[in-house]
Homo-oligomer: A and B are copies of this chain.
Amino acid sequence: MSLNDLLGGTSVYWMNIPADGRDIAISCRVRLARNISGIPFPHLLDTAKGIEIMESVKAAHEGADGLLLRSMHLFTFDQLDILDRQTLTEKHLCSPEHAASGERHRGIMLNEDKSLAVMINEEDHLRIQCLLPGLALKECHDLAQQLDDELEQTLDYAFDEVRGYLTACPTNVGTGMRASVMLHLPAAQMTGLINQLLQNVSQLGLAVRGLYGEGSEPVGNFYQISNQITLGQTEEDIYNYLQTIAEQIVEQEIQLRERLMAEMPYQLEDKIGRAYGILNNARLIGSDEAMRMLSLLRLGIDLKIIKGISIYALNQLMVAIRPAHLQKIGGHPMEALQRDVLRAEVIKQKLSCQEAD
């Protein structure tokens, strides 16, 4: 797998249409934080020790028996320029903090469809992630767990019989697991119920964030909901709890969409039609506005007001219009105005290709 195959294009497995065929639960993720015994956590690490970790992971990868680990490709960040690393973030495969540094003891392992990723020397020595379309947290967990087991055949994890997996940040100690779901909730927003809903979610011990996780503001009615507690519960308890709550939110959003269609069909069709008109005709469009308009277009596709465009294509588009992807498409660094022009072109082209399909 070449660097270009790894990073080119916008197709990533999580973008596929979920099993329920709807636009509400976009994707789900389980990540496991793991550290190698006897070596300081990354924030206390010197380069030599960092390279030691990287070499251990390389050895584990190269000598792997396990199916998943053998299917992965490892890249150190000195091989990738800043734009390449940022495209990984924009595809939800790498944290922004990890992408920021191009040191050779930092890196990432990815499988072909990018449903599995392992960040090396991020906040922990290893961050194992599985990312799937829709609401499939058990499958996420099982795959992440299997990859974890395969890594553990070679690597010696820092583990305490009482506290569980030891992690750089105490909030991850225990299972070292964080599970999250990405939900699209435009009807909750339009009916004014979103704040109450998010407050309820917080009271249930879950965290609400934007599309790019910690530190990102929600835009375009996309919300990442994740577990806060990693200690004192089994992994199964954690993902089952999140799965149940996410299913309830999805059900509520379905009902609110039906209510909007019944109570204000013209207004709803108007908002969606205008968003479609703007996306197809703007000559300049900023990232936030594009996300708001794409949110409405997704709703229109889900409610069959807009036909001939797939949610899969919109998932690709939502990634393609991010700054690093745009600059990769443009082939050179770009100012904000240039990006706004190219973003508008990329959107128009994608939508017109879809319609012609």
Contacts and interface: CB of A to CB of B under 8 A. Distances in A.
Interface of A: 266-267, 269-270, 273-274, 276-285, 337, 341, 344
Nearest to A267: B284
Contact of A274 (B266, B278, B341): B278
Contacts of A269: 283
Among A276, A281, A285, A341, the one with the most B-chain Cβ atoms within 10 Å of its Cβ is: A281
Interface pairs A-B: 8 shortest CB-CB: A277-B277, A277-B281, A270-B283, A273-B281, A269-B283, A270-B284, A273-B283, A277-B278
Nearest to A341: B266
Complex copy number for this chain: 2
A301 to B, nearest CB: 15
A280 B282 contact: no
Grouping DSSP codes into helix (H, G, I), strand (E, B) and loop, the A interface class, with mixed when no group exceeds half, is helix
A280 B283 contact: no
A78 to B, nearest CB: 38
A259 to B, nearest CB: 18
A276 B281 contact: yes
A166 B280 CA distance: 58
A282 B278 CA distance: 10
A269 B337 CA distance: 14
Contact of A337 (B266, B284, B285, B341): B266
Contacts of A284: 266-267, 270
A285 B278 CA distance: 15
A280 B266 CA distance: 15
A282 B266 contact: no
Contacts of A273: 281-283
A282 B268 CA distance: 10
Given A274-B281, A277-B282, 7 more contacts: A266-B337, A270-B344, A276-B277, A277-B278, A277-B281, A278-B278, A280-B281
27 contacts: A266-B284, A266-B337, A266-B341, A267-B283, A267-B284, A269-B283, A270-B282, A270-B283, A270-B284, A270-B285, A270-B344, A273-B281, A273-B283, A274-B277, A274-B278, A274-B281, A274-B282, A276-B277, A276-B281, A277-B277, A277-B278, A277-B279, A277-B280, A277-B281, A277-B282, A278-B278, A280-B281
A291 B267 CA distance: 20
A285 B277 CA distance: 14
Nearest to A275: B281
Contacts of A337: 266
A223 to B, nearest CB: 27
Nearest to A276: B281
A283 B272 CA distance: 9
A269 B348 CA distance: 14
